[in-house]
């Protein structure tokens, strides 16, 4: 999926750039198509009514007919696009807001074809005063987007008049008449924003009240390319949770097959008991056919944010955190499961009870069973999926792999924690993958000014061996060897760090990182 791996409550953005959850986006896209048809029909009717009643007053009849052709094409084209590209809902709605502004300019150009005689007064009102609230009613979006589109559309009134005066030499009306024509669209733009937000809030309230099993959606806290993360509450227990809603991407497979894979994967993950694996409370399918996980809601930083905010970690702390990730993977590997997307954004460090610097491994969305067992991937069997900066060579090459691929990714993660840099920094995903396959890594000690113990340096490079047989044999072995370097990071040091840097936001179970790539 295409989203940051950790999403936080209190984000300035809403679940999407337009502030709508997926089901409301789909409804708005349908209405957007009909808005295009309605505009085309009304424009054609108004065009011919004005043309035949005021044919002598039109400054440039050919230009007036061009406006008709453009308007008709835009309205019907928008309807076609909403039916053909319905899966690209957010892009369509953004295009719809641009459509509102562009059509407002076309309306203004058509209205201002008339040249006024000296002393002649302007009559009537601009159709923009009706078009702007009607569009906002049909296509309600978030507060910022609706306000920008509505008031920009109102501004097309005076802009259209100026263009006609400039381009076609139209004689403008008396200045005293201009406020009566151009102020109402701005007033109605304000009404449109209020109207759109009322409909938007009602839709959001209905969406939030929908139950996911025993949980009630409370507020959106993240958005990804294939779904959303919501903060949720259990209807009976005083327990918060994170619900990850997933829109099934069939990739050429039937929806029942995708659901089967999802359910098998969820059952496999729910069987994991390690305290260092994020807890799955529930899973299921909504009435709309969307898949969902219910997982624990955690307070902390992902390891990517941790290093980005505070810089490379002391070697002892880095070893302490990676050792806990090993504990999670140790159980998963023993169950025949390979994570396939170990990276800093899929590990959350938090305060849990009385413990500080407690790590939770997240997002087993690419989990794969060992050879010979039933494939639990949601992705298509022939795809190679993961994050290039942390992908093992054998995964990049698409050959058979096992839990030692996760060991390689742990080495990449440790490298990031120690240096704040990727092992390889290719300019493209493909070049980065090829470096993982062919290039020898620079030791962490060669990429950072602070000293890295020689033994830890060697251990990280051992995890990064191209040949899986040369890496630590298991997550358990790696965890045992990391303990030697982790002892210097004491519980007292961890508690002191968290007392100073305790996060104010809640981090939820992630959607797929923006770095995840199918190659």
Say if strands 291-296 and 240-246 run parallel, antiparallel, or are unpaired. Answer: antiparallel
Q: Binning pLDDT at 50, 70 and 90, where does residue 243 land? A: confident
Give the residue-averaged pLDDT of 266-283. Answer: 85
* Mean pLDDT score of the chain: 80
CA distance 215 to 221: 16
Lowest mean pLDDT among 25-29, 147-151, 336-340: 25-29
CATH hierarchy code of domain 7-11+210-295: 3.30.200.20
Question: Where, residue-wise, is CATH 3.30.200.20 in the chain?
Answer: 7-11+210-295
Distant-in-sequence, close-in-space partners of 56: CB < 8 Å, separation ≥ 6:
none
> What H or E segment, with its residue span, contains residue 26?
helix 22-53
Residue 235 has pLDDT above 90, yes or no: no
pLDDT score of 123:
64
> What H or E segment, with its residue span, contains residue 95?
helix 89-111
Distant-in-sequence, close-in-space partners of 357: CB < 8 Å, separation ≥ 6:
317, 320, 321, 349, 489, 494, 497, 498
Distant-in-sequence, close-in-space partners of 452: CB < 8 Å, separation ≥ 6:
315, 418, 443, 444, 445
Instruction: Answer whether 110's CB lies under 8 Å from 64's CB.
Output: yes
More confident residue, 54 or 447: 447
Maximum distance among all Cα pairs of the chain, rounded to whole angstroms: 93
Give the residue-averaged pLDDT of 258-274. Answer: 78
Q: Is the dihedral of CA 120, 125, 131, 132 positive or negative?
A: positive
Give the residue-averaged pLDDT of 48-77. Answer: 79
Q: Binning pLDDT at 50, 70 and 90, where does residue 16 land? A: very low
pLDDT score of 387:
82
Taking the CA atoms of the chain, what radius of gyration do you get in angstroms? 29
pLDDT score of 373:
43
CA distance 85 to 55: 40
Residues that are catalytic: 341
CA distance 316 to 306: 15
Residues 435-487 have pLDDT tens digits of: 999 999 999 999 998 899 999 999 999 999 999 999 999 999 999 999 999 99
- List phi, psi (to 5°) of 513: -65, 155
Question: Where, residue-wise, is CATH 1.10.510.10 in the chain?
Answer: 299-518
pLDDT score of 418:
96
pLDDT score of 381:
41
Residues 474-495 have pLDDT tens digits of: 999 999 999 999 999 999 999 9
Instruction: Answer whether 470's CB lies under 8 Å from 458's CB.
Output: no
Q: Which residue has the tokens 């099934």?
A: 248
Residues 289-313 have pLDDT tens digits of: 778 888 888 888 899 999 999 999 9
Three-state SS annotation for 282-349: EEEECCCCCEEEEEECECEEEHHHHHHHHCCCCHHHHHHHHHHHHHHHHHHHHCCEECCCCCHHHEEE
Q: Quick one: fold of 299-518?
A: Transferase(Phosphotransferase); domain 1 (1.10.510)
pLDDT score of 22:
58
pLDDT score of 206:
60
Question: Closest Cα to residue 39, out of 166, 140, 130?
Answer: 130
CA distance 146 to 101: 11
Give the residue-averaged pLDDT of 112-118. Answer: 74
């Amino acid at each position: 999926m295409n989203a940051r791996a950790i999403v936080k409550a209190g984000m300035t953005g809403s679940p999407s750039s337009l502030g709508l959850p997926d089901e409301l986006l789909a409804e708005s896209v349908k209405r957007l198509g009909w808005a295009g048809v309605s505009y085309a029909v009304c424009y054609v009717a108004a065009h011919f009514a004005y043309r035949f009643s005021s044919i002598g007053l039109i400054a440039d009849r050919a230009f007036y007919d061009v406006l008709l052709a453009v308007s008709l094409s835009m309205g019907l084209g928008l309807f076609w696009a909403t039916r053909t590209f319905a899966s690209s809902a957010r892009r369509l709605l953004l295009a719809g807001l641009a459509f509102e502004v562009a059509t407002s300019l076309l309306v203004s150009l058509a209205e201002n074809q008339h040249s006024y005689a000296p002393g002649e007064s302007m009559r009537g009102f601009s159709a923009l005063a009706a078009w702007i609230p009607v569009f906002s009613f049909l296509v309600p979006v978030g507060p910022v987007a609706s306000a920008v589109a509505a008031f920009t559309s109102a501004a097309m009134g005076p802009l259209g008049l100026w263009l006609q005066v400039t381009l076609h030499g139209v004689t403008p009306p008396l200045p005293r008449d201009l406020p009566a024509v151009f102020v109402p669209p701005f007033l109605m733009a304000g009404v449109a924003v209020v109207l759109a937000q009322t409909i938007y809030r009602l839709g959001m309230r209905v969406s939030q009240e929908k139950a996911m099993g025993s949980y009630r959606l409370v507020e959106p806290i993240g958005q990804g390319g294939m779904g959303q993360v919501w903060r949720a509450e259990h209807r009976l227990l005083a327990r918060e949770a994170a619900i990850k809603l997933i829109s099934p991407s069939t990739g050429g497979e039937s929806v029942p097959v995708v659901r089967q894979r999802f359910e098998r994967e969820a059952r496999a993950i729910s069987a994991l008991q390690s305290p260092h694996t994020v807890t799955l409370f529930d899973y299921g399918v909504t009435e709309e056919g969307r898949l969902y996980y219910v997982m624990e809601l955690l307070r902390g930083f992902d390891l990517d944010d941790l290093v980005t905010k505070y810089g490379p970690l002391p070697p002892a702390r880095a070893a302490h955190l990676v050792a806990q990730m090993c504990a999670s993977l140790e159980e998963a590997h023993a169950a025949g499961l390979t994570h396939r997307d170990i990276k800093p954004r899929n590990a959350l460090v938090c305060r849990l009870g009385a413990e500080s610097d407690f790590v939770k491994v997240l997002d087993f969305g690419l989990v794969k069973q060992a050879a010979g067992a039933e494939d639990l991937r949601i992705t298509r069997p022939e795809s190679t999926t993961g994050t290039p900066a942390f992908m093992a060579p054998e995964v990049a090459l698409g050959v058979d792999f096992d839990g030692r691929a996760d060991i390689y990714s742990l080495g990449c993660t440790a490298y990031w924690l120690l240096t704040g840099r990727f092992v390889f920094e290719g300019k493209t995903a493909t070049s980065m993958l090829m470096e993982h396959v062919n290039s020898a890594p620079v030791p962490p000690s060669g990429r950072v000014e602070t000293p890295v113990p020689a033994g830890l340096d060697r251990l990280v490079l051992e995890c990064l061996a191209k040949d899986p047989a040369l890496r630590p044999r298991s997550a358990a072995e790696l965890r045992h060897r990391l303990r030697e370097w982790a002892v210097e990071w004491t519980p007292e040091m961890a508690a002191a760090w968290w007392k100073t840097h305790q996060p104010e936001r809640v981090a939820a179970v992630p959607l797929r990182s923006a770095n995840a790539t199918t190659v």
